[in-house]
Amino acid sequence: MFLVGLTGGIASGKSTVSSSLRDLGCPIIDADVVARQVVEPNSPAYVRIVQHFGSEILLENGEIDRQKLGQIVFSSTEKRRMLNSITHPEIHKAMLRQILFYFLRGYRYVVLDVPLLFETRRLTRFLNHTVVVYCDPATQLSRLMQRDGLTQEQAEQRIASQMPMNEKRGLANHVIENSGSREDTHRQVLRLHTKLEDSMEFLLVRTLAVVTAAGLGGLLLYTVKLLVL
């Protein structure tokens, strides 16, 4: 099995592509969903966040007020680092568990849907392929305004706060060009899926797993022999 990172800019069409891949049967691990799950009430990260930031960051129902916490860490690098040091290891563990689950079920590749893949760069070294969903700036602006009901100025501000799409495009192995119709994008997704499915890269990890398992089995047998004889 191998790992494929999927990313894009705001409203470039990442969710649209991710749901097409899911419809094709690809396992998708959504980093945003995982990030929300690891801070659910009474999880280890939740307990540590409340210890550090106090109960004033909680909503009435006991959940973390993500907006409030976001505002607190936005204005302080130190607090942001603290929050990341609590959540990132938990996010990585949860993702790893899901990857292992799909590996054991025999999938050839898993897609990690990560909005800030190239901004944080934490995961890129584990990925065999990176895919950017791109659309031209004018289309991105109008889709964002329409989807989120924003004024042009608000939409431009959100786009400007991210890494420019052209830069992301230059960093990826594959680009899905989503400035045109949904059908055109779907055709590109199909081509990409076929290419990844046909790739033999998954064999390397499976072979390594078999060799490691065989090695461990041999070691176990040897230890048992030593103990018994």
Order the strands of the 174-177 sheet from edge to edge: 28-30, 109-113, 2-8, 129-134, 174-177
Q: CA-based Rg of the chain, rounded to a whole angstrom? A: 21
Which range of residues in 9-17, 37-45, 80-88, 153-161 is near ligand ADP by CB under 6 A? 9-17
Query: Which residue minimizes CB distance to ligand ADP?
Result: 15
Residue 168 interacts with ligand ADP (CB under 6 A)? no
CB of 176 vs ligand ADP, minimal distance in Å: 10
Residue with tokens 């050839």: 108
Give the rounded distance of the alpha carbon of 172 from its chain centre.
Answer: 15
Angle at 182 between CA 181 and CA 186, to 5 degrees: 120
Residue 10 interacts with ligand ADP (CB under 6 A)? yes
Which range of residues in 35-43, 166-174, 177-185, 187-195 is near ligand ADP by CB under 6 A? 177-185
Residue 5 interacts with ligand ADP (CB under 6 A)? no
Nearest to ligand ADP of 15, 98 (CB atom):
15
Which range of residues in 81-89, 99-107, 174-182, 195-203 is near ligand ADP by CB under 6 A? 174-182
Sequence-distant (≥ 6) Cβ neighbours of residue 155 within 8 angstroms: 141, 144, 145, 148
